[in-house]
């Protein structure tokens, strides 16, 4: 190889080149994959949810973590006995580097289609937060490998693989394209409504004010109400909660019914409402940067 080519290869930015951030190493800590309920499995690193659904006739993956998470997610899928080439769809909660950063690599590894809301689709193709994203002002720090082929999925539309149907619920607020995904997973004759819920955290870059756009605040409240009203037995958050790992521990003793909690979405919506209200109070008091 020519010396220049060697140097280029050594410095090339690939779709798994790690993104550095204050929380990135903790988020990307290793985590053994495990069955959550029925045909639904956890394949993400410790702090970034990736969920695999096995239809028996192909797999659906939700979220890809950071670029450096992609290899961990792929290894977890294989460790559970599945083949990467059987992943038919990779769906996205929202187009931020910590949940979409690994999707380009995972699409390359699996050949799967990628699906997101129309607004999420536009952002994923740019590999950046959308211009109207509350965190867009963080600029270059928001970049991740763009996902070239993304299919927009309308609010209420479904993605079906084998006997598994996943429904998109557009829940904008944290980002303009935020999406919550729901499906049913069964253990024997007991079926559970599973919810992969979009982030409800009202975080923004310096200078951004939610209160400056009442339509945006109303839309965020509607998203919270949507999640509150969902049939919901198993709740999975984009960053798994402490409660989720408590449920994992309990499941070792009690079985996977430990993951069932039909009040989880309502409690999560309450926290989202409280966080948005606090953000609006902080903005009004001049306490936000
Ligand atoms: Zn985010």
Q: What are phi and psi of 113, to 5 degrees?
A: -75, 150
Q: How many residues make up the chain in this entry?
A: 289
CB burial readout 108-122, b (16+ within 10 A) else e? bbbebebbbbebbbb
* Strand ranges inside 92-241, DSSP E: 113-116, 150-152, 158-161, 164-170, 179-187, 190-197, 234-237
Choosing among 3.60.15.10, 3.30.70.340, 3.40.50.620, 3.90.420.10, the CATH entry for 21-284 is: 3.60.15.10
d(CA 25, CA 37): 28
11 — pLDDT class (breaks 50, 70, 90):
low
What was the pLDDT predicted at 279? 98
What pLDDT shows up at residue 13?
77
Ligand 1 centre from 199 Cα, in Å? 7
Question: What would the mean pLDDT of 131-141 be, rounded to a whole number?
Answer: 97
3-state secondary structure of 56: coil
- For residues 163 and 65, give the distance between their C-alpha atoms in angstroms, rounded to a whole number: 26
Distance (angstroms) between ligand 1 centre and the Cα of 190 equals: 33
Confidence (pLDDT) at 4: 59
Distance 96 CA to ligand 1 centre (A): 5
Q: What are the distances in angstroms from CA 264 to CA 62, 140, 230, 239, 267?
A: 20, 35, 10, 15, 5
- Phi/psi for 36 (5° steps) reads -85, -60
Backbone angles phi, psi at 170, to 5 degrees: -70, 120
Q: Is the pLDDT of residue 205 over 70?
A: yes
Q: Where are the domains of the chain?
A: 21-284
Q: How far, in Å, is the centroid of ligand 1 from the Cα of 283?
A: 20
Q: How far is the CA of 275 from the centre of ligand 1 (A)?
A: 15
Distance 98 CA to ligand 1 centre (A): 7
């Amino acid at each position: 190889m020519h010396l220049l080519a060697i140097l280029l290869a050594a410095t090339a930015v690939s779709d798994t080149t790690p993104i550095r951030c204050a929380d990135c190493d903790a988020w990307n800590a290793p985590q053994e994959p495990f069955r959550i309920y029925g045909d639904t499995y956890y394949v993400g690193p410790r702090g970034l949810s990736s969920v695999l659904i096995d239809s028996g006739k192909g797999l659906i993956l939700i979220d890809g973590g950071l670029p450096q998470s992609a290899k961990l997610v792929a290894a977890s899928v294989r460790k559970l006995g599945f083949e990467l080439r059987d992943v038919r769809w990779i769906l996205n909660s929202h187009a931020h580097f910590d949940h979409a950063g690994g999707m380009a690599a995972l699409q390359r590894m699996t050949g799967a289609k990628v699906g997101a809301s129309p607004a999420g689709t536009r952002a994923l193709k740019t590999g950046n937060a959308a211009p109207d994203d509350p965190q867009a002002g963080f600029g270059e720090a928001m970049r991740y490998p763009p996902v070239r082929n993304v299919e927009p999925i309308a609010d209420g539309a479904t993605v079906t693989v084998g006997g598994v149907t996943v429904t998109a619920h557009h829940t904008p607020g944290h980002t303009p394209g935020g999406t919550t995904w729901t499906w049913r997973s069964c253990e024997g004759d007991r079926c559970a409504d599973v919810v992969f819920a979009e982030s409800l955290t009202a975080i923004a870059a310096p200078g951004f004010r939610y209160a400056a756009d009442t339509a945006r605040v109303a839309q965020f409240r509607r998203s919270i109400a949507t999640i509150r009203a969902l049939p919901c037995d198993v709740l999975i958050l984009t960053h798994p909660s402490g409660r989720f790992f408590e449920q994992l521990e309990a499941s070792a003793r009690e079985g996977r019914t430990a993951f069932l909690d039909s009040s989880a979405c309502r409690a999560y919506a309450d926290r989202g409402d409280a966080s948005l209200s606090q953000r609006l109070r902080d903005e009004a008091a001049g306490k936000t940067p």
